C-alpha cells in the first residue's frame, strides 16, 4: 500500500511540476486550455489522530466511483476509536473546493475545509460525506465515507434463527441414523421402526430434496459403524464382519473381521481388530508396508467422535483426527488422536471433556495481525455433546486452534442455547453452499429464537447496500438422548457472520441475508472477530 501511495505521490508531483513549468500561461494566452471537471478520488487512507489503532494507515479502503462510496471492507477490531482520525485523500489537482461534512458523530459534527486544513481530525462515528467541487465550478460529487468497526464480540456464535424438520426417513420415528459425506453427497442411513433401512442423499441439505431408497443389507448392520472412503462405503455387521459397497444399495462381504471402524482415510478404511492378545490397528485394503500395531492403552476403542481428515498446502500428507471415547480399561477420555497416513499419535496436552459419543466439528477462522493488517486462515475444531461418566451430557462448546493439542472452553456467546437438548452420537456435515432468502420450504417449521441485545446485530448498510459474509453451514444430524432414543426432529440455528467469504449484497435487508435454511439437526454460521 505504501508503494501505491508513493507512486501516486510521484505522479502528482510530476503533474504539479508540469503545471509550474507553464504557470505563466493564462487561459487567454492558451486557446487549448480546458477547465477541469474531474471529481474522482484516486486514493484514500487514514492516519491516527489522538485516538485510533496503531498502524491504522495500512488499512485498505475501497473506492467505488459508480456508487460514490469509500469504505474498508475488512472492519477494524471491536472498540477501535474512530472519533479523531485524519484522512489522507488523493484528489483531482484542480479541485476548487473539498469539504468533509460530519453528521451525528459522538465527538464532533460540522464541516472541515480539507484544502485549507488537510490534517484536521474527523469523527467517523456518524455519517461522513466528502464533497468535491471541480475546477469548472459546476461538476460536483459527494462520497459517503464509512470506517467500519466490528460490533460483535470475538469468538462468538450467533444462534439467531431456528427451523425444525425430520430426518429423511420413509417412516416416522426412526430408531437409528448415520450420516457421512460420500461421493460429494451428504448421505444418511436410517434404521426404520419396522426393521427396514433407508438410504438418502442430497447435494444440498437446505433444499430438503433428498433421494430416498429402501435398501436391503442382507445382514444386520451396526448402523453407527458406517464410514466412507474416497470410493467405497463400509459397515460392520452385528457379528463384526466388514462389508463394502460402491453405491450403498448392494453390499459385499470382505474377508475382514473387525471389532470397530474408525473412518476413511483417502482410499483406505481404518479400524480395530480384537485378538487373543489385545486390540490392533487395522486397515482395508491393506497398503504396501502396513504393519499391524497394537493399540495404545490410552487410545479409545469405542465412543469416539467422527473421524475427520484435513489437509493444507504445508502438509506432506493429510491428517485424520478423532476425539473422546472409551479406552480398553473402560476409562473415558477427552484426548485428540491424529493419524498421518502411517502412524497414530496422541496430540492433546489440554484435553476436551472425557465423554463418549461427542461431536467434533471442523471449521476455520481468519485471525488479524493488526500490526501488518493481514488476515490468515486457521483451521479450528469445535467439540460438543457426548455423555459424561455420571450419565449426564456435556453441554459446553470447546474449541482448539492447534488441531487438538489444547482444548479451551468457548466464550459464553458460543455456547449452545437452552433450546438444544443434550445429545450424543450426533453426526456433523459442513456445507459451504450459501443459503439465502426467506427460507420457508414445505416440511419445515421455523421458530423465533431467543432475543439478542441490540448491539449484537451488525449492519454494514451503505446507501442501500448491505455487506454480508457467507460462512460454511454446520449441520448436526440426529443424536440420541440418555435412553438411547434417536432424535428425529432437530433444530437449525442461524448466525450472521464475518471472516468467511466477503460478499456484497445489494438492496437486501439484514434480516433477509442468508436466512436460516434447514436440515435435520442444528445448523449455525460462526463469527470470529479475531
- Model confidence at 85, pLDDT cuts 50, 70, 90, reads very high
Read off the pLDDT of each residue in 503-521 and give the average, rounded to a whole number. Answer: 27
Residues 157, 526 contacting (CB under 8 angstroms): yes
pTM beyond 0.75: the answer is no
Banded pLDDT at 97 (limits 50, 70, 90): very high
pLDDT of 370 > 80? The answer is: no
Name beta bridge partners: 492. 163
Say what the pLDDT of residue 488 is: 78
Pairing type for strands 140-146 and 521-524 reads unpaired
Tell me if 517 sits within 8 A of 435, measured CB to CB. Answer: yes
SS3 content of the chain, % helix, strand, coil (to 5): 5, 40, 50
Res. 510: pLDDT tops 60: no
Q: Which tops the pLDDT comparison, 454 or 89?
A: 89
CA distances from 339 to 248, 318, 345, 384 (A): 26, 8, 7, 22
User: What spatial distance separates the first Cα and last Cα of the chain, rounded to whole Å?
Assistant: 22
Structure-model confidence comparison of residues 205 and 437, the more confident one: 205
pLDDT at 52 over 90: no
Specify the pLDDT at position 308.
Answer: 94
Query: In the chain, what are the domains?
Result: 34-146 (2.60.40.2340), 156-527 (2.120.10)
For 63, residues 6+ apart whose C-beta sits below 8 A from its C-beta are 41, 42, 43, 44, 69, 70
Q: Which has the higher per-residue pLDDT, 227 or 504? A: 227
Q: What angle do CA 205, 208, 214 make, to 5 degrees?
A: 95
- Range of weakest confidence among 41-45, 308-312, 315-319, 366-370: 366-370
Tell me whether the omega of the peptide bond preceding residue 259 falls within 30 degrees of 0, making it cis: no
d(CA 108, CA 84): 9
| Cα–Cα distance measured from residue 27 to residue 236, given in angstroms and rounded to the nearest whole number | 91
User: Taking residues 334-344, what's their average pLDDT?
Assistant: 94
- 389 pLDDT exceeds 70? yes
Most confident range, picked from 73-87, 171-185, 433-447: 171-185
Partners of 462 in beta bridges: 465
* 106-110, 299-303, 430-434, 524-528 — most confident range: 299-303
Q: What pLDDT shows up at residue 471?
A: 56
Find the mean pLDDT for residues 329-350.
95
Between the CA of residue 49 and those of 1, 57, 116, 122, 147, what are the distances in Å? 20, 11, 18, 9, 14
- CA distance linking residue 487 with residue 120, whole number of Å: 62
β-strand partners of 429 = 475
Q: In the predicted model, what is the mean pLDDT of residues 189-214?
A: 89
Instruction: Check whether 508 has a pLDDT greater than 70.
Output: no
Give the mean pLDDT of 375-403: 87
Quote the longest CA-to-CA distance of the chain: 107
In this structure, the strands spanning 424-431 and 473-480 are antiparallel
Q: What is the pLDDT of residue 459?
A: 42
pLDDT in tens, 127-150: 999 999 998 889 999 999 999 886
Output the pLDDT for position 184.
87
Can you list the positions of beta strands (E) in 82-202?
A: 85-90, 97-103, 110-113, 127-133, 140-146, 156-157, 161-166, 176-182, 185-191, 197-202
More confident residue, 250 or 454: 250
Q: How far is CA 271 from the centre of its chain?
A: 30
Q: Report pLDDT digits (tens) over 247-305.
A: 999 999 999 999 999 999 999 999 999 999 999 999 999 998 898 999 999 999 999 99
pLDDT per residue over 460-491, tens digit each?
A: 343 444 434 445 667 788 888 888 888 875 43
pLDDT the model gives residue 431: 75
pLDDT at 448 > cutoff 60? no
Q: What pLDDT score does 530 carry? A: 26
Residue 11 has pLDDT above 80, yes or no: no
**Would you state the pLDDT for residue 491?**
39
**Distance between CA atoms of 361 and 268, rounded to whole angstroms?**
22
% of the chain exceeding 90 in pLDDT: 45
Q: What is the mean pLDDT of residues 311-330?
A: 88
pLDDT digits (tens, 9 = 90+) for 151-189: 655 444 555 455 567 788 899 889 999 999 999 899 999
Flag whether pLDDT at 492 surpasses 80: no
Q: Write the Ramachandran bin of 334: left for phi over 0, alpha for psi from -120 to 50, otherwise beta.
A: alpha
- In this prediction, residue 520 carries a pLDDT of 32
What's the mean per-residue pLDDT of the chain?
Answer: 77
Q: What pLDDT sits at residue 166?
A: 79
Amino acid at each position: 500500500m505504501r508503494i501505491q501511495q508513493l507512486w501516486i505521490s510521484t505522479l502528482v508531483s510530476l503533474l504539479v511540476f508540469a503545471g509550474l513549468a507553464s504557470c505563466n500561461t493564462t487561459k487567454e494566452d492558451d486557446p487549448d486550455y480546458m477547465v477541469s471537471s474531474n471529481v474522482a478520488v484516486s486514493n484514500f487512507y487514514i492516519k491516527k489522530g489522538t485516538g485510533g489503532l496503531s498502524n491504522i494507515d495500512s488499512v485498505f479502503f475501497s473506492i467505488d466511483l459508480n456508487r460514490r462510496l469509500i469504505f474498508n471492507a475488512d472492519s477494524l477490531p471491536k472498540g477501535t476509536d474512530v472519533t479523531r482520525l485524519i484522512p489522507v485523500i488523493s484528489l483531482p489537482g484542480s479541485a476548487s473546493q473539498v469539504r468533509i461534512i460530519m453528521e451525528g458523530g459522538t465527538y464532533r459534527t460540522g464541516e472541515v475545509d480539507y484544502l485549507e486544513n488537510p490534517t484536521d481530525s474527523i469523527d467517523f462515528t456518524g455519517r461522513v460525506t466528502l464533497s468535491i467541487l471541480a475546477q469548472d465550478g459546476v461538476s460536483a460529487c459527494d462520497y459517503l465515507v464509512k470506517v467500519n468497526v466490528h460490533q460483535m464480540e470475538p469468538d462468538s456464535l450467533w444462534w439467531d434463527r431456528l427451523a425444525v424438520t425430520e430426518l429423511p426417513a420413509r417412516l416416522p420415528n426412526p430408531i437409528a441414523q448415520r450420516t457421512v459425506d460420500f461421493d460429494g453427497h451428504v448421505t444418511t442411513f436410517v434404521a426404520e421402526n419396522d426393521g427396514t433401512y433407508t438410504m438418502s442423499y442430497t447435494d444440498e441439505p437446505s433444499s430438503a430434496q433428498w433421494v430416498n431408497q429402501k435398501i436391503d443389507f442382507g445382514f444386520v448392520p451396526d448402523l453407527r459403524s458406517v464410514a466412507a472412503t474416497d470410493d467405497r462405503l463400509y459397515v460392520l455387521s452385528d457379528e463384526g464382519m466388514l462389508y463394502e459397497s460402491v453405491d450403498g444399495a448392494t453390499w459385499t462381504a470382505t474377508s475382514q473381521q473387525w471389532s470397530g471402524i474408525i473412518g476413511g482415510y483417502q482410499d483406505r478404511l481404518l479400524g480395530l481388530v480384537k485378538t487373543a492378545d489385545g486390540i490392533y490397528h487395522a486397515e482395508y485394503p491393506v497398503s504396501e508396508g502396513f504393519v499391524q500395531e497394537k493399540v495404545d492403552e490410552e487410545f479409545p476403542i469405542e465412543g469416539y467422535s467422527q473421524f475427520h481428515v484435513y489437509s493444507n498446502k504445508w502438509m506432506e500428507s493429510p491428517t485424520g483426527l478423532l476425539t473422546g471415547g472409551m479406552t480398553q480399561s473402560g476409562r473415558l477420555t477427552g484426548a485428540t488422536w491424529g493419524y498421518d497416513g502411517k502412524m497414530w499419535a496422541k496430540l492433546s496436552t489440554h484435553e476436551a471433556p472425557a465423554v463418549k459419543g461427542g461431536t467434533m466439528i471442523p471449521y476455520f477462522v481468519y485471525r488479524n495481525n493488526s500490526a501488518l493488517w493481514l488476515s490468515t486462515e486457521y483451521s479450528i475444531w469445535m467439540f460438543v455433546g457426548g455423555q459424561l461418566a455420571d450419565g449426564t451430557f456435556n453441554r459446553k462448546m470447546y474449541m482448539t486452534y492447534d488441531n487438538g493439542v489444547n482444548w479451551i472452553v468457548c466464550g459464553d456467546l458460543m455456547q449452545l442455547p437452552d433450546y438444544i437438548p443434550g445429545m450424543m452420537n450426533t453426526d456433523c456435515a459442513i456445507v459451504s453452499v450459501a443459503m439465502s432468502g426467506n427460507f420457508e420450504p414445505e416440511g419445515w417449521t421455523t421458530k423465533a429464537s431467543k432475543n439478542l441485545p441490540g448491539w449484537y446485530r451488525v449492519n454494514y448498510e451503505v446507501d442501500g447496500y448491505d455487506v454480508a459474509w457467507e460462512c460454511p453451514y454446520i449441520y448436526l444430524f440426529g443424536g440420541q438422548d440418555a435412553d438411547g432414543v434417536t432424535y428425529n426432529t432437530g433444530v437449525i440455528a442461524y448466525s450472521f457472520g464475518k471472516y468467511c467469504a466477503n460478499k456484497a449484497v445489494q438492496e437486501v435487508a439484514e434480516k433477509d441475508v442468508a436466512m436460516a435454511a434447514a436440515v435435520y439437526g442444528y445448523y449455525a454460521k460462526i463469527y470470529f472477530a479475531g
